[in-house]
Amino acid sequence: MAEYSTLGSVAVLQVNNPPVNSFSHHVRQALVDGLERAQRDPAVRSIVIMGKGRTFPAGADIREFGSGAAVKMPNLLMVLQAVDTCQKPVVSAIHGTALGGGFELALASHYRLAVPSARMGLPEVHLGILPGAGGTQRLPRVVGVKTAIQMITSGQHIKAQQALSLGIVDKIVQGDLLKEAVSFARSVEGRPVEDRRISQKTVPEADKVDEVVEAARKTILRKARGAIAPMTCVQAIQASVLPFEAGMAREAELMAFLMTSWQAPAQQYAFFSEREVRRWSHPRDKRINFKTAKPRVVKSVGVVGAGTMGMGITINLLQAGLKVVMLEVNKKQLDKAVNTIKKTLSQKSASQKMSQLTTAMDYSQLRDVDIVIEAVFENMRLKKEVFRKLDAVTKPQTILASNTSGLNIDEIAAVTKRPDKVVGTHFFAPANVMRLLENIYGRQTSPETVATAMQLGVTIGKVGVLVGNCPGFVGNRMLGSYTAEAVFLLEEGAEPQDVDRAIEEFGFPMGPFRMGDLSGTDIGWKGRIAKGLTTEHGPPPATPALYRRGNRYCPLPDMLCMKGRLGQKTGAGWYRYEPGSRTALPDPVVLQMIQDYRQEHGFKKRTISSQEIVERCLYPLINEGFHILDEGIAARSLDIDVIYLFGYGWPRHTGGPMYYAERVIGLEKLLCSLETYSARYPDHAHLQPSPLLRNMVAKGGSLAALGTDSKL
Ligand SMILES: CC(C)(COP(=O)(O)OP(=O)(O)OC[C@H]1O[C@@H](n2cnc3c(N)ncnc32)[C@H](O)[C@@H]1OP(=O)(O)O)[C@@H](O)C(=O)NCCC(=O)NCCSC(=O)C[C@@H](O)CCCCCCCCCCCCC(=O)O
Ligand SMILES: NC(=O)c1ccc[n+]([C@@H]2O[C@H](COP(=O)([O-])OP(=O)(O)OC[C@H]3O[C@@H](n4cnc5c(N)ncnc54)[C@H](O)[C@@H]3O)[C@@H](O)[C@H]2O)c1
């Protein structure tokens, strides 16, 4: 609702709809009623609108979309029209976050005040829509088309001070917001409101709009990669040079187009799923769930191994204000890590944050930490050795976590006397940037240990997802079938750039081969050597070239590594790189290597369409997701989607692999395609449809109903 009160001549409308004061139908109704009442009351000479509790309204109530409630009268457009055309000055007083429709309400008001900590913006693009309550028409009238495009297509929040410099906010007020807003409202009473209406202004430098739009179009099309909302936002902004009513009509038309697209519900699902993963639970052990399991307090963390991951994890922990003891066996590496950490921490707080860091080469220095995160080489023998040491030196209550990318957590836990306190905390590179934290419980991990790992994720600003233990866990296990199929496509005729292009057009920031070059082609190679699938010099003796343990195997990635082509770090991988450049250039050497290989093994080169590339790479990945759900490794399909959205660059506008499978491809079609491909390639095990997928197609039922994500 919106609470109505008066303070002398000022009517105050306080939106009260926790948690974020979104514009649910009852709020809209109360605002319209409140405005009418204030208009009617001769004693009222000005109006203040603000949010109660933590924030100014954060926009439309997203849960109303698709339910019919968003269009129930009065809709948000009508509320804002009432504000804009009000004959008495309306002042929006902003604290917290004025987002989407909330910010649009502020723009429809005649004056805007903000506290210094307030932030504002139009993040609708992340929900697959546009600011459809006049945001695309009013914002350019204040800041110009260029800045409006930048703000709206990025969805970025700006701070109060920046809003002031852009002319969005009239004044930043210190102290009590209500008191300040009422005093400001009194000061403008009796002044004409006509020239305060943004809707009546014209867009600055309107004659340059087409030029600005054309420049923006190129960048956006390159960045948006299949998402339709960003460019549609630009089209709406372009219409802001028209008379206001005509621009609003264009905005409404484009909003309707987006609202009825398949991408908007996918992005809204992604928004809620990101939040839903906080309500984690073990699919079978009732004690392990977010409601009852209590975390231990973590103030200090040990990080073992100061390589790529240990360094990133340490930066992340320091940024969150935690104390860190970083241990490394190699002194040179330790010094290098300290230097990198210092450089990465922001100048302003570097020295304070660095004072929280202790470096160590002796394990006994870890004795007092609350949790240790191990990030040494991916080698089971070494991990066991490290965990034995950690078990011996740390306090009995210290939690021992491993950042392994996929080794068995139970096997690691078994070498300690505290298997209940052992957990997987799988960070993604670069660990201080990537938002995902895949937390893995083992057979004996206690509820308290799981809760502590999940809470640590919250403390350090990660999106934490809880999963079970299996080789590769959820993310890397699914990725295995994707990368395997990508190299099979090379055998048949595709070139690395064909595969990458198709996957990037689908929406990934990078295809599998460019990605491989970035992370280092030797990561997978070392893993395959450790598993005995290959050796540094080729296949193990007496091994058929194209099979391993009865499964189809493509040795091309091993051959690449044997040539010393380890990716960007060696200047050559699947592509070649000019010195100092990260641009992937197709390399005739690699293409010849692939061609020779095809000839040697009797593969006939054929042209492979982008559609086949996408299906052959993504369908087995999704199929593995079904196996994972079937085994209870992921509790819900949304957990898998969030892992892929935040850890693997899966395009957000498709909702994530499982959402995409069910709502965009359709399970029946997915099954049918997998059946076709597995009939064509009977020895590609990952193309065999999962029993769960078959079952769901046969019996019906939704992915959401398998888990607890019934709210979505
Ligand atoms: C606000 C935040 C920054 C707060 O972050 P914080 O981390 O503090 O908290 P959480 O993110 O955890 O959120 C807490 C809690 O609140 C839920 N929530 C947040 N925002 C909303 C919201 N806007 N609506 C509903 N629920 C919300 C969140 O899910 C959490 O609850 P949970 O149970 O999940 O844990 C941060 O939350 C944030 O960034 N929020 C989103 C802000 C945003 O994106 N705002 C824009 C919303 S869209 C909008 O405003 C559209 C308008 O521009 C235009 C509307 C025009 C309408 C025109 C007429 C109708 C035409 C439409 C046709 C419809 C078709 C149809 O329906 O059929
Ligand atoms: N690099 C990635 O992209 C990535 C992503 C996710 C997870 N991981 C996992 O993180 C772990 C670390 O990977 P990385 O890429 O940071 O490796 P890295 O080779 O960059 O660093 C490992 C560090 O561990 C140190 N070390 C070795 N033995 C040690 C010991 N006994 N005690 C203390 N330090 C020791 C090494 O000197 C080295 O600096 C691995 O398990 C890996 O699978 C890596």
Confidence class of residue 641 from pLDDT cuts 50, 70 and 90? very high
> Ligand 2 centroid to 309 CA: how many Å?
6
Confidence class of residue 217 from pLDDT cuts 50, 70 and 90? very high
Cα–Cα dist 398/387, whole Å: 12
Bridge pairing between strands 171-172 and 300-304: unpaired
Please tell me the number of the ligand nearest to residue 427's CA.
2
Stretch 603-626: mean pLDDT, rounded? 98
**pLDDT exceeds 80 at position 348:** no
| pLDDT, tens digit (0-9, with 9 covering 90-100), for 102-119 | 999 999 999 999 999 999
Is the CB–ligand 1 distance for residue 277 below 6 Å? no
Q: Which contiguous run of DSSP H or E holds residue 4?
A: strand 2-7
- Residue 500 is predicted with a pLDDT of 98
The pair of structure tokens assigned to 70 is 């968003």
Cα–Cα dist 463/274, whole Å: 7
Q: How far is CA 660 from CA 43, 258, 628, 673, 705, in A?
A: 57, 17, 16, 15, 16
312 Cα nearest atom in ligand 2: 16
Stretch 471-497: mean pLDDT, rounded? 97
* ipTM attached to this prediction: 0.97
DSSP label of 394: S
Partners of 359 in the β-ladder: 326
**pLDDT exceeds 60 at position 709:** no
Cα–Cα dist 646/652, whole Å: 9
- Residue 712 is predicted with a pLDDT of 44
- Residue 625 is predicted with a pLDDT of 98
Q: Which of 591, 593, 575, 594 is nearest to 583 (CA)?
A: 575
Residue in 36, 124, 180, 675 annotated catalytic: 124
Cα–Cα dist 555/549, whole Å: 14
> Ligand 1 centroid to 661 CA: how many Å?
25
The domain over range 2-259 is classified in CATH as 3.40.190.10: no
**Which of the two residues, 257 and 706, has the higher pLDDT score?**
257
**pLDDT exceeds 80 at position 473:** yes
Instruction: Return the percent helix, strand and coil in the chain, to nearest 5.
Output: 50, 15, 35
104 Cα nearest atom in ligand 1: 53
Cα–Cα dist 244/30, whole Å: 26
* Average pLDDT, rounded, for the chain: 96
Cα–Cα dist 556/548, whole Å: 14
Stretch 360-365: mean pLDDT, rounded? 98
The pair of structure tokens assigned to 346 is 């922001």
**pLDDT exceeds 90 at position 581:** yes
Nearest CA to ligand 1 atom 38: 58
**Which of the two residues, 664 and 206, has the higher pLDDT score?**
664
Q: Which of 490, 480, 518, 463 is nearest to 646 (CA)?
A: 463
378 Cα nearest atom in ligand 2: 41
Bridge pairing between strands 399-402 and 422-427: parallel
Is the CB–ligand 1 distance for residue 11 below 6 Å? no
Contact partners, residue 45, CB within 8 Å, separation at least 6: 9, 10, 88, 186, 189, 190
DSSP label of 468: -
Bridge pairing between strands 119-121 and 157-159: antiparallel
691 burial (CB, 10 Å; 0-12 / 13-18 / 19+) is: exposed
- Residue pair 656/644 in contact (Cβ under 8 Å)? The answer is yes
> Ligand 1 centroid to 254 CA: how many Å?
20
- Residue 558 is predicted with a pLDDT of 98
Q: Output phi, psi for 32, to 5 deg.
A: -65, -45
Is the CB–ligand 2 distance for residue 386 below 6 Å? yes
Residue to probe by mutation, ligand 1, list 15, 20, 136, most atoms within 8 Å of CB = 20
Is the CB–ligand 2 distance for residue 401 below 6 Å? no
CATH of domain 494-601: 1.10.1040.10
- Residue 346 is predicted with a pLDDT of 76
> Ligand 2 centroid to 670 CA: how many Å?
38
Would you kindly state where each structural domain of the chain is located, as residue ranges? 2-259, 300-470, 494-601
Please tell me the number of the ligand nearest to residue 526's CA.
2
672 burial (CB, 10 Å; 0-12 / 13-18 / 19+) is: middle
Cα–Cα dist 143/642, whole Å: 35
Provide the strand spans (E) within 138-265.
157-159, 171-172
> Ligand 1 centroid to 62 CA: how many Å?
5
Cα–Cα dist 303/552, whole Å: 39
Cα angle 273, 279, 281 (rounded to 5 degrees) comes to 115
Q: Which of 236, 360, 260 is nearest to 302 (CA)?
A: 360
Range of weakest confidence among 13-22, 286-295, 504-513, 522-531 = 522-531
Output the 3-class SS for 186-212: HHHCCCCCHHHCHHHCCCCCHHHHHHH
Contact partners, residue 706, CB within 8 Å, separation at least 6: 629, 636, 637
**pLDDT exceeds 50 at position 56:** yes
Residue 104 among the catalytic residues:
yes
From the options 3.30.160.20, 1.10.530.10, 3.50.40.10, 3.40.50.720, give the CATH code of 300-470.
3.40.50.720
Is the CB–ligand 1 distance for residue 70 below 6 Å? yes
The pair of structure tokens assigned to 222 is 């390159």
Q: Output phi, psi for 34, to 5 deg.
A: -65, -40
> Ligand 2 centroid to 404 CA: how many Å?
9
**pLDDT exceeds 90 at position 647:** yes
Residue 536 among the catalytic residues:
no
Is residue 158 classed as helix, strand or coil in its secondary structure? Answer: strand
Stretch 395-415: mean pLDDT, rounded? 97
- Residue 224 is predicted with a pLDDT of 87
Residue in 3, 64, 104, 578 annotated catalytic: 104
Q: Which contiguous run of DSSP H or E holds residue 230?
A: helix 229-238
- Residue 711 is predicted with a pLDDT of 44
> Ligand 1 centroid to 100 CA: how many Å?
8
Q: Which contiguous run of DSSP H or E holds residue 357?
A: strand 357-360
Q: How far is CA 502 from CA 15, 121, 510, 617, 651, in A?
A: 47, 33, 10, 10, 13
**pLDDT exceeds 60 at position 710:** no
Is the CB–ligand 1 distance for residue 124 below 6 Å? yes
- Percent residues over pLDDT 90 in the chain: 95
Stretch 680-709: mean pLDDT, rounded? 90
Please measure the distance between the N-terminal and C-terminal CA atoms of the chain and give it in whole angstroms.
24
Cα–Cα dist 372/401, whole Å: 6
Cα–Cα dist 530/550, whole Å: 18
Place of tokens 């201080």: 432
Cα–Cα dist 371/360, whole Å: 16
The pair of structure tokens assigned to 684 is 């590609």
**pLDDT exceeds 50 at position 251:** yes
Stretch 251-274: mean pLDDT, rounded? 98
Stretch 422-427: mean pLDDT, rounded? 98
Confidence class of residue 241 from pLDDT cuts 50, 70 and 90? very high
Is the CB–ligand 2 distance for residue 472 below 6 Å? no
- Residue pair 158/120 in contact (Cβ under 8 Å)? The answer is yes
Residue to probe by mutation, ligand 2, list 315, 331, 405, 425, most atoms within 8 Å of CB = 405
- Residue 497 is predicted with a pLDDT of 98
Q: Which contiguous run of DSSP H or E holds residue 15?
A: strand 10-15
Stretch 413-438: mean pLDDT, rounded? 97
Is the CB–ligand 2 distance for residue 478 below 6 Å? no
